[in-house]
Structure 1
Amino acid sequence: MAREKAAELLTVRQVIEELGGISRRTFYRWRELHIAPRCIRLPNGELRVRRDVLNDWLAERAEGTVS
């Protein structure tokens, strides 16, 4: 079950909603700056973000954490 959750693919809309409703433009700007979570480009050109990648990306940005 944990593996099944890790393989979940999120749409850009789902990601920006989870990030507090940032604008689509902000997300794509972050991609240009290489600071957005890693995306997967599907054969139809749409982007997806793996759930585990988003969770790791958020954890890396948590304030007050010790590396």
Structure 2
Amino acid sequence: MARTFLTLDEFLAELEVPRSTFFRWKALGQAPKTYKLPNRSIRIRRTDYDAWLSSREEPQAA
């Protein structure tokens, strides 16, 4: 069964981007929706990640 939430490290590993890139995207409003837990760790709901990634798909070249 797939996990409902990704940790920030899992998100970064899937996209192969550095942490600084994620926080730049977040500051620019271009990152997926995040959830901050009481211990200050960040989680990203898998469905939010999938929708965010799909919204960045480029059209096929003609």
Q: How does the TM-score come out when normalised to structure 1? A: 0.81
* Aligned position for 2:11: 15
SS at match of 2:43: strand
Q: CA deviation at 1:18?
A: 1.0
Name the % identity.
38
Matched pairs, number: 60
* Aligned position for 1:64: 59
SS at match of 1:38: coil
CA RMSD after TM alignment = 1.6
Render the CA deviation track for 1:7-64: whole Å, top value 9, x for unaligned.
Answer: 6111111001111x10110001111111001100111111000000000000001011
Matched, 1:30 2:29: no
Separation in 2, partners of 1:32, 1:60? 18
Structure 1 residue ranges without an equivalent (≥5):
none
Question: Stretches of 4+ moved more than 2 A in 1?
Answer: none
Q: 2:47 aligns with which of 52, 58, 64?
A: 52
SS at match of 1:29: helix
Structure 2 residue ranges without an equivalent (≥5):
none
